[in-house]
Amino acid sequence: MLEIKNLTVNYGAICALHGIFLSVPAGSIVTLIGSNGAGKTTTLKAISGLLRPNSGEILYAGRNIAGLPPHAIVAGGLSHVPEGRMIFANLSVRENLQMGAYLVRDKKAMRQELEFVFATFPRLQERERQIAGTLSGGEQQMLAIGRALMSQPKFLMLDEPSLGLAPLLVKTIFEKIVEINRARGLTILLVEQNANRALEISQFGYVLETGKITLQDNAATLRQNPQVRSAYLGGG
């Protein structure tokens, strides 16, 4: 569903991505792991149009979307949950979700999406009139994911969804990612520092180091790889 070919992204004179290749099959969960500064967030921003690549192709459903504006990419069915959640703190939970559906013109479809989000995250329905900035970190992450789902995506990118959350909430968030993938057949590209959890729920994984893909394999094999275990899973 998504194929990246020889993608290069620069920040001024600094090359953040050095001609990477990456593939995400339809209906799958694929994880991109790596240390801070490896280029994971840059990759997602390039895909979603927030950064303009210097060279290479980003093929989404067979179409090269590299360099398209973000709103056109969202309209094509690709949605991005950014690192740090980036919710509208002064709006209510419901208003945040409605903002996610700004491209959806069918009111019935919008109601159905809202029902799905509330069924997936009942806590959001309990707090739908609450100002989003007063939610807990875990609730804000649920809201960020829910807002992305309101745009009726076919492809969802999640950047560090477990960042800063208590262990119990981390478990809940990863369970919900799997639930969304299975319920909707939604293709998911996951960037996550909690590599063990991410590889547990993924079918395939890539390791990104200083802007280059250094390892790629099915997730179960990567979890057993000594290099990955030592660098990212806390074991030898």
Where would I find the beta strands (DSSP E) of the chain? Answer: 2-11, 14-24, 29-33, 55-60, 63-64, 78-81, 155-159, 187-191, 204-209, 212-218
121 within some domain: no
Read off the pLDDT band of 234 (50, 70, 90): low
182 within some domain: no
Read off the pLDDT band of 230 (50, 70, 90): confident
pLDDT digit string, tens, across residues 35-64: 888 899 999 999 999 999 999 999 999 899
Q: What's residue 6's pLDDT? A: 95
- Among the listed residues 68, 54, 58, 79, the one whose alpha carbon sits nearest the alpha carbon of residue 154: 79
Read off the pLDDT band of 174 (50, 70, 90): very high
Distance CA 177, CA 36 (A): 23
Read off the pLDDT band of 236 (50, 70, 90): very low
Copy the structure tokens of residue 178: 């799997």
For residue 25, give the CATH number of its domain.
Answer: 3.40.50.300
pLDDT digit string, tens, across residues 82-136: 887 788 999 999 999 988 887 777 777 778 888 999 999 999 999 999 999 999 8
Total domains, the chain: 1
pTM of the shown model: 0.89
How many other C-beta atoms are found inside a 10 Å radius of the C-beta of residue 111? 11
Copy the structure tokens of residue 142: 């649920």
230 within some domain: yes
The residue range of the domain holding 53 is 1-67+187-236
Q: What's residue 226's pLDDT? A: 86
61 within some domain: yes
The strand pairing partners of 8, in sequence order, are 18, 55
57 within some domain: yes
3-class secondary-structure state, position 9: strand
Q: What's residue 54's pLDDT? A: 92
Measured between alpha carbons, how far is residue 235 from residues 33, 198, 214 in Å? Answer: 16, 16, 19
119 within some domain: no
205 within some domain: yes
